[in-house]
Amino acid sequence: MRNMGRLTPWLYLAAPLGLLVIFTYVPVVSMFSYSLTNWDGVSYDSEFVGIDNYVQLFTRPELFQVFFVSLYYLAASLFQIVVALYFAVVLSFKTRFRNFFKGILFFPYLINGVAVGFVFLYFFKQGGTLDSFLGLLGVQSRQFWLGDPDLVNVSLSSVSVWRFLGLNFVLFLGAISAIPSELYEAAEIDGANRWQIFRSIIAPGIKPILGLVTILSISGSLSVFEIPYIMTGGANGSTTFVIQTVKQAFQFDKTGLASAAAVVLLALILLITWIQRKIVPDERNELA
């Protein structure tokens, strides 16, 4: 009976732990070991090549340049945070049609990525929605929004602003509404203006969420895949880190090199998360 009692929790944990080990920990460990070989993903044998794959990643400019593409998405997500914060503040004060505006800002976040890709392929195509709309405003535009290597990443990262703005906005809105309303009332009695209310009440209240959103933005910018893959397939200089890794692994059969790339990405994301935890201590970490 005593023994049964000790076993009980493990019976409940068997399935989740099993899946966790098989689909998270085994891949992480094997990915690391592949990254030290020149395996092609299918053959029975492969050679140990040491850190050669890593050296290639950081020395071949065509492999390295994907990091510059991330910078576009990083800049876009900073812009997105500012805009999301603006609308969250605006809509946390009394506003007509508040729920309507909230719904419209949030809904794009729920849309299927392939559908978003199609919507914006039509938006950016020659004589598409954007060109026609600019025409209405009297601007004659015949830009190659997705064909021009100087423009393509700006166009694609603005799609990701359109898509993810809503999530950031709702997170900020939630954090602002959690601030006790007496604080605002007291501030208004003291004659504080909106800017003062923002600086001394709202800003401190949303600090933890701001930290979270920043970290999501940085790791998100590093792991962009769907939108550029669906829209351009990585053409015209829009290849991101993940597109390149997927192509190396599944088109060019360079499992070793792709694994090294994935290890680098994983390490970067873990590092960023660790730094963020150091800067903003998480009081709500209830698991530990």
Partner 1 sequence: MTRILAATGKYASLVVACVVMLLPLVTIFATSLKTSQEMATGETLALPRNWFNFDNYVTAFAKGDMLVAFANTAFILLFSITGTVLIGSMAAYAIDRFAFRLKRVVLGLFLVAALVPGVTTQVATFQVIDGFGLFDTRWAPILLYLGTDIVAIYIFLQFIRSIPVSLDEAARVDGASSFKIYRSVIFPLLKPAIATVVIIKGITVYNDFYIPFLYMPSEELGVISTSLFRFKGPFGAHWETLSAGAVLVILPTLIVFLLLQRFIYNGFTSGATK
For partner 1, the binding residues in 127-186 under the rule CB under 8 A are 127-129, 131-133, 136, 162, 167, 170-171, 174
User: Least separation, in Å, of the C-beta of 234 and partner 1?
Assistant: 14
From the list 6-14, 144-152, 184-192, 198-206, the region that binds partner 1 by CB under 8 A is 6-14
55 vs 111, beta carbon nearer partner 1: 111
249 counts as binding partner 1 under rule CB under 8 A: yes
Which position among 80, 157, 218, 226 is part of the footprint of partner 1 (CB under 8 A)? Answer: 226
54 counts as binding partner 1 under rule CB under 8 A: no
| 121 phi, psi to nearest 5 deg | -65, -40
78 vs 266, beta carbon nearer partner 1: 266
Element housing 6 (H / E):
helix 2-20
25 vs 64, beta carbon nearer partner 1: 25
User: Least separation, in Å, of the C-beta of 119 and partner 1?
Assistant: 5
C-alpha–C-alpha distance, residues 224 and 241, integer Å:
7
Q: CA-CA-CA-CA torsion for 118, 120, 122, 127, nearest 10 degrees?
A: -170
C-alpha–C-alpha distance, residues 51 and 35, integer Å:
8
From the list 45-53, 64-72, 124-132, 142-150, the region that binds partner 1 by CB under 8 A is 124-132
Instruction: Judge whether 209 and 276 are in contact, CB under 8 Å.
Output: no
C-alpha–C-alpha distance, residues 220 and 278, integer Å:
20
From the list 45-53, 54-62, 148-156, 247-255, the region that binds partner 1 by CB under 8 A is 247-255
User: Least separation, in Å, of the C-beta of 85 and partner 1?
Assistant: 13
| 175 phi, psi to nearest 5 deg | -65, -40
Which position among 67, 230, 253, 280 is part of the footprint of partner 1 (CB under 8 A)? Answer: 230
User: Least separation, in Å, of the C-beta of 34 and partner 1?
Assistant: 6
User: Least separation, in Å, of the C-beta of 97 and partner 1?
Assistant: 8
99 vs 181, beta carbon nearer partner 1: 99
From the list 26-34, 55-63, 70-78, 180-188, the region that binds partner 1 by CB under 8 A is 26-34
Number of amino acids touching partner 1 (CB under 8 A):
87
71 vs 111, beta carbon nearer partner 1: 111
Segments in 107-238 forming alpha helices (H): 113-124, 129-136, 152-177, 181-189, 194-197, 203-205, 207-222, 226-231
Segments in 39-112 forming alpha helices (H): 52-59, 61-64, 66-92, 98-106
279 counts as binding partner 1 under rule CB under 8 A: no
Instruction: Judge whether 230 and 236 are in contact, CB under 8 Å.
Output: no
- Is 127 in a helix, a strand, or coil? coil
Which position among 67, 106, 184, 198 is part of the footprint of partner 1 (CB under 8 A)? Answer: 106
- The separation between the first and the last C-alpha atoms of the chain, rounded to the nearest angstrom, is 30
C-alpha–C-alpha distance, residues 236 and 251, integer Å:
19
